[in-house]
Amino acid sequence: MKIIDNIIFWIKNSRPYTIPITALNFLVVFVYSLCHEGNFIAGIIAYIGIALIHLATNLSDDYFDYKKLIKNEEFCAKDCKCAYLRDNRATVCDLRNAIITMLGIAAICGIILFFISGYGVIFFALAVLPIAIFYSKLSSKGLGDLAVILAYGPLMFGGVCYVMTKQVTFEIIILSIACAIIVETILYTHMLMDFKDDIKANKITLCTKLKTPQKALQGLIVLYVTAYIFIIFAANTSGNFNILISYLTIPAVVKLYKSLKIYNQDENFMPPTGILNYPLNTKKQLPVNAPFFHRFYHAINISTLFMLLTALGVAL
């Protein structure tokens, strides 16, 4: 029972609520590969490995962030990260062992896939490992956004496509960039609303590099527009224009933009709440910091709908 309790403890602390974002992104390339006679079992094994790497990355982020938090008592008191370390429910050594264990099991998945699909697995594994381990450090240098796009885009899509079909097509790489940018908009929206706090903490993000919240908001639109352009490229390259069904998410993007524009002026203003402003997997009410999460869930749900519609378009 102690082993099971330990497993549950670390899964909870690895922020499993972020897994649906990865799962939905994975769904697009999984459906694509199945439509190209891909190996179903290889895809499932790949997802298990990807999910474990994702959770390990979250814990790795805690590992490096905790070292920063304990050096800044004022910031530490306000921040809720690494609570399980700060209240002594686990040690840094325990955290390190949990990360190694998750990556170790992911490596076993990689070994299995190596025998199923070939040497290409090694390339993708070696490419994604540094991002998983050092994401926090990359993020602190303002490179977190690029890391996310690479990991959720060409590396995930290319890797899954390879293990399932033993090839990587140009069209899946183009499609991967569109989907990865949409995932990035979730993080970017979070950073945009944290703009003032990040400036005070001297934290480097893509938003703070743009100097003002207004320019940062314009950057979000650039990301969405770029994603939609890449969807056109992907449709043209593959000849499957059904994936343009993802354009149905544009009205939700416009609504998010307007809402964030108001947020830049008044962080306490609460717009009318619709279905896109709640977590789609729960009936719980918005938390205390409602204006923030109202927009954050909106960005997450745009990504959710985008991936579902794109996967549907790929399958049609």
pLDDT in tens, 26-59: 999 999 999 999 999 999 999 999 999 999 888 8
CA atoms within 13 A on the CB side of 272: 2
Residue 120: partners with Cβ closer than 8 Å, 6 or more residues away:
162, 163, 166, 168
- Look at residue 131 in the predicted model and tell me its pLDDT: 85
Euclidean distance between CA atoms 83 and 288, whole angstroms: 19
The domain defined by 1-168 folds into Tetracycline Repressor; domain 2 (1.10.357)
pLDDT reported for residue 302: 94
- Please, what sign has the CA dihedral across residues 151, 106, 114, 164? negative
Q: What is the pLDDT of residues 175-187, one digit of tens each?
A: 999 999 999 999 8
Query: For the chain, what are the domain ranges?
Result: 1-168, 169-316
What are the backbone dihedrals phi and psi of residue 55, each rounded to the nearest 5 degrees, phi first?
A: -65, -40
Confidence of residue 80 (pLDDT cuts 50, 70, 90): low
pTM: 0.87
Indicate the residue type of 6.
N
Instruction: State the CATH class of domain 169-316.
Output: mainly alpha
**Which pLDDT does position 233 carry in this prediction?**
96
Among candidates 160, 63, 76, 79, which has minimal Cα distance to 121?
160
